[in-house]
Amino acid sequence: MRRAIGDRSALTRPGVNASVARMSNALRLEDYHVTPEQYLAAERFSDVKHEYVAGKVYAMAGTTADHERIASNIVRELGNRLRGGKCEVFSSNLRVRIRQPGRKEFYYYPDALVDCTGLPGRAIYAEAPVVIFEVLSPETERVDVGEKLACYRSLPSLCVYAMVNQINAAITIHRRNGDEWDTEFLGRVDAILELPEIECSLPLSAIYERVGGIA
């Protein structure tokens, strides 16, 4: 879940330079247009993660225990399966940057992503993810299946966008097929999510491990 930054300003600490401090004050204005550079500078000193949507900044709210279980399961299982290969998984602490025509930029924190470019150690965002996972909740579903779906699919590198339901064992997969996108659905805990794009697969039983009432 996220809130417009007009509801909560970016947090700053002693020692933050004047330009970042001015940005934090400006962010209190709901209609203020924030540049990507301002967003990234302020985010370095914030105790709350924010997503950036073409000039608007949104604070991210907390998650449920089951949301964290599912996201952690995905990261752990992918990490085990991708060990020793060129692709690696990252958790929700790494952003994705999306640049669209007209100089629009977006920065999101997906619940999990797979990158195969060999990101340098000091990278603060990925620009060419191959697979992205978002764990849905009632508060975020509208954004995840609408705005984020459209933005993620604009990434030339992206092959799979998986939206994982946290209430039921159900995953909706958007998979690139040439210039088109196919939609698949898995709705059983004994199903397997095939990911030939990164040469691995994930059983839903592993994704939903310890999630009450599912696995």
Q: What is the pLDDT of residue 32?
A: 74
**At 213, is the pLDDT very low, low, confident or very high (cuts 50, 70, 90)?**
confident
Q: What is the pLDDT of residue 146?
A: 78
Read off the pTM.
0.85
Neighbours of 18 (CB within 10 A): 7
pLDDT tens column, 102-142: 779 999 999 999 999 999 999 999 999 999 999 998 777 77
Q: Which domains does the chain have, with CATH numbers?
A: 2-60 (no CATH), 65-207 (3.90.1570.10)
**At 10, is the pLDDT very low, low, confident or very high (cuts 50, 70, 90)?**
very low
Mean pLDDT over residues 183-204, rounded?
A: 98
Q: What is the pLDDT of residue 36?
A: 94
User: Cα separation of 131 and 125, whole Å?
Assistant: 15
pLDDT surpassing 70 at residue 30:
no
Of all residues in the chain, the percent with pLDDT exceeding 70 is: 85
**At 172, is the pLDDT very low, low, confident or very high (cuts 50, 70, 90)?**
very high
User: Cα separation of 143 and 206, whole Å?
Assistant: 26
**At 63, is the pLDDT very low, low, confident or very high (cuts 50, 70, 90)?**
confident
